Amino acid sequence: MTVAVTKEADLKSKFTGALIGTAVGDALGAPMEGWSFEKVRSVYGNCNYYNSYSNKKGWKMVCRYYTDDTEMMIGVAESLIRNNGFDGADMARTFVQNAKRKRWYGPGTMEVLERIRAGESWEDASGKLFDGEGSYGNGAAMRIAPAALFYYDNPDMLREVAYKSSHITHSHRLGTEGAVLQAFAIALAVLRREKEGMLADLRESLQDNAYIYSEKLKAVETLMAKGGGKEDVIAELGTGEAAFNSVPTAIYSFLCTDNFEDAVSYAVSLGGDTDTIGAMTGAISGAYYGAECIPDEWLSQLEEGKKGKSYIIWLADELYYRYYFLRLKFCETFC
């Protein structure tokens, strides 16, 4: 993977951008989760936020309440901060303590969390789902932003923590590989100042046996080259809950646009698993453009409360300082 220099002053904004970007993308997509592309278009037009009054019904998108994507992302951040790094048992416990049904968890994740709550080991609980195959849903990729930030400059640890944190709830190889791909997309967005070459680096990050993901990244490249329409993107990349039908779609939404607002608007305009594809696009885009590039009109609507907007920004700050001081300590010892 190519490593570029990132100024420290920008880095903090990228940490905040990725965490709050997850919440904004999630909250924006949540009201239309499960809608078809045609239904989204008939209600919100092209989801161009500031022009959305011009669509037929005149509805404007709202960006208010986050769902399970952000609640689990908060759990990842809390656990990393508490332990100065990854601790699987603590992260699993944090997911269990945080989970609220009103955040629209999927039944598979709820079953795993119930098993852990009942005393099963975090290393074993998820592997029992789906006749012992484990889940390949996007539930691990959607929450990965804090881990991607904490290990953005350490590819080996990034991969290991993405796998292990995914394994808590999504242990199918295609679920864990989806989380790894999303983690590398966020890490590259932190490192890079230009998008050129990112797809090649993402392809390098895949394991040799991740055939479906390398095919999807090839499709992303083809769609970028020919400027494919939304119907083509939906048909070739997908908008479903499987990690391989949504992580590449989020990467494409980021790559084919030029700013945070357009990226997340594009992602949710495709329909399907809009909250999660919005959350993942928001994480990558926030890591690339920084927190200042998230529209005030969206941020101002985002929910507050015990674990709302201000808390998420605080988590991003804490995560940044932990990362920064651990790196300083490492350099004092080994550099």
Q: Which is nearer to Mg ion, 88 or 106 (CB)?
A: 106
If binding is defined by CB under 5 A, does position 71 make contact with Mg ion? Answer: no
DSSP 9-58: HHHHHHHHHHHHHHHHHHHHHGGGTT--HHHHHHHHTT--GGGGGGSTT-
**Which residue lies nearer to Mg ion by CB, 69 or 261?**
69
Q: Measured between alpha carbons, how far is 160 from 195 in angstroms, rounded to an integer?
A: 25
- What does the DSSP assignment read for 147-183? HHHHTTT-HHHHHHHHHHHHHTT--SHHHHHHHHHHH
Nearer to Mg ion, 28 or 158 (CB): 28
Return the range that interacts with Mg ion (CB under 5 A); candidates 68-76, 77-85, 155-163, 326-334.
68-76
Q: Which of 25, 68, 250, 266 binds Mg ion (CB under 5 A)?
A: 68
Report which of 238, 315, 323 is spatially closest to residue 273, judged by C-alpha positions: 238
Closer CB to Mg ion, residue 110 or residue 256? 110
The residue number with the shortest CB distance to Mg ion is: 67
Among 275, 285, 298, 319, binds Mg ion (CB under 5 A): 275
Under the criterion CB under 5 A, does residue 69 sit at the interface with Mg ion? yes
Shortest reach from residue 178's CB to Mg ion, in Å: 15
Q: Distance between CA 319 and CA 166 in Å, rounded?
A: 19
What is the number of residues in the chain?
335
Is residue 24 within 8 A of residue 281, CB to CB? The reply is: no
- The nearer residue to Mg ion, 13 or 285, going by C-beta atoms, is 285
Contact between 67 and Mg ion (CB under 5 A)?
yes
Q: Which is nearer to Mg ion, 29 or 134 (CB)?
A: 29
Whichever of 47 and 191 has its CB closer to Mg ion, that residue is 47
69 vs 236 by CB, closer to Mg ion = 69
Smallest gap from residue 180 Cβ to Mg ion (A): 20
The site for Mg ion, by CB under 5 A, has a size of: 4
Residue partners of 215: CB distance under 8 A and separation at least 6: none
Closest distance of CB 31 from Mg ion, Å:
11
The tokens describing 207, both together, are 């394991």
**What are the structure tokens assigned to 241, written together?**
């809950």
Phi, psi of 148 (to 5 degrees): -60, -35
Contact status: 126 vs Mg ion (CB under 5 A): no
Separation of alpha carbons 310 and 59, rounded Å = 28
- If one asks whether residue 249 binds Mg ion (CB under 5 A), the answer comes out as no
Asked whether position 273 contacts Mg ion by CB under 5 A, the answer is no
241 binds Mg ion (CB under 5 A): no
State the nearest-atom distance from the C-beta of 67 to Mg ion, in Å. 3
Range in contact with Mg ion (rule: CB under 5 A) among 113-121, 224-232, 267-275, 324-332: 267-275
Using the minimum distance from each CB to Mg ion, give the nearer residue, 69 or 78.
Answer: 69
By CB under 5 A, is residue 165 in contact with Mg ion? no
- The span from the CA of 139 to the CA of 179, in Å, is 8
Alpha helices by DSSP H, the chain: 8-29, 37-44, 68-83, 88-98, 107-117, 129-132, 145-150, 155-167, 173-191, 198-205, 211-226, 230-237, 247-255, 260-269, 274-289, 296-301, 309-334
CB of 243 to Mg ion, least distance (A): 14
**Residue 276 beta carbon to Mg ion: minimum distance, rounded to whole angstroms:** 6
Supply the minimum distance, in Å, between the C-beta of residue 10 and Mg ion: 29
Judged by the rule CB under 5 A, the positions of this chain that interact with Mg ion are 67-69, 275
